[in-house]
């Protein structure tokens, strides 16, 4: 599969990067192959940077730090080695996956700053829907506080960089089946749960979320307002 295949419902080529939105769930191996190909063409100067918004069928992915004991239900859904950083995570319908293929050699070869910007991007997007997303030390991803005072993850982040071109990215829980997360220890964290827009009582569409993500991207990645503090650290 290539990113020029028929899985793409929309192609927004205007603006600083190209945006593509897939109409149907994309099989994980096909997504990996497409990202690999695009990264190489970006490196070679033959393609623009790309933001790819999609969903996957239900599956688990294992990052480079995944521990076997954190896969609690190994036969529930297909399990794939992701090649990204991090541990186990779940992907499935109702979850917006955002794969970013950006040239950090051009933008600034700073991996910590890049992860900070991913976090900031999600935080600003959530704010548009009245959600207060927060970072937590030593807990990668974006967290919210539920009405009962408990904390839960609403967005996961996992990245990979090859010769300063990024791929993989983030996953935002819009309205996935949260029971599907029970087959793993998400990101190796047992003390806290996961949540979603729907779980928090928000009836938001995927198209609305996509519009906000695309709209807030330049604030963080293209403008000075998105400059990462020098002290920012990936935890």
Question: Domain-by-domain residue ranges, the chain?
Answer: 8-221
Query: Could you tell me if 156 and 75 are in contact, meaning their C-beta atoms sit under 8 angstroms apart?
Result: no
Taking the C-alpha atoms of residue 32 and residue 209, their distance in angstroms, rounded to an integer, is 23
Please state, in angstroms and rounded to a whole number, the distance separating the CA atoms of residues 226 and 179. Answer: 35
Tell me, what's the pLDDT at 14? 57
Helices (H) and strands (E) counted in the chain, each on its own, are: 4, 12
Superfamily of domain 8-221: Bira Bifunctional Protein; Domain 2 (3.30.930.10)
CA-wise closest residue to 229 among 110, 123, 137, 124: 110
Q: Is 145 helix (H, G, I), strand (E, B) or coil?
A: strand
CB 216 within 8 A of CB 128: yes
Residues acting as catalytic residues = 187
Q: Do 82 and 168 contact (CB within 8 A), yes or no? A: yes
Beta bridge partners of 95: 173
Residues with Cβ within 8 Å of residue 9, at least 6 apart in sequence: 21, 22, 23
pLDDT mean values, one per 10 residues, the chain (235 residues): 48 76 97 97 96 98 90 95 88 98 95 96 98 92 94 95 96 97 82 93 97 97 54 28
Q: What pLDDT shows up at residue 85?
A: 80
Of residues 162, 116, 168, the one with CA closest to residue 142: 116
The pTM of this model reads 0.89
Extract long-range pairs of 192-195: CB within 8 Å, 24+ residues apart.
192/139, 192/143, 192/150, 192/151, 192/152, 192/153, 193/150, 193/152, 193/153, 194/152, 194/153, 194/154, 195/144, 195/146, 195/152, 195/153, 195/154
């Amino acid at each position: 599969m290539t990113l020029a295949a028929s899985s793409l419902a929309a192609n927004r080529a205007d603006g600083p990067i190209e945006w593509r939105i897939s109409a149907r769930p994309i099989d994980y191996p096909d997504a990996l192959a497409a990202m690999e190909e695009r990264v190489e063409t970006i490196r070679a100067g033959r393609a623009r940077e790309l933001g790819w918004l999609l969903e996957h069928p239900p599956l688990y992915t294992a990052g480079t730090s995944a521990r076997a004991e954190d896969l609690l239900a190994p036969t529930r859904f297909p399990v794939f080695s992701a090649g990204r950083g991090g541990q186990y995570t779940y992907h499935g319908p109702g979850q917006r996956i955002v794969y970013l293929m950006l040239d950090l050699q051009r933008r600034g070869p700073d991996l910590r700053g890049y992860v900070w910007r991913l976090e900031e991007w999600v935080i600003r997007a959530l704010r548009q829907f009245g959600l207060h997303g927060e970072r937590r030390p030593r807990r990668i991803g974006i967290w919210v506080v539920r009405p009962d005072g408990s904390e839960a993850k609403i967005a996961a982040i996992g990245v990979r960089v090859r010769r300063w071109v990024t791929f993989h990215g983030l996953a935002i829980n819009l309205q996935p089946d949260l029971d599907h997360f029970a087959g793993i220890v998400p990101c190796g964290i047992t003390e806290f749960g996961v949540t979603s827009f729907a779980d928090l009582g928000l009836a938001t569409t995927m198209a609305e979320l996509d519009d906000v993500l695309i709209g807030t991207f330049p604030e963080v990645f293209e403008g000075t307002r998105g400059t990462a503090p020098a002290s920012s650290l990936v935890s």
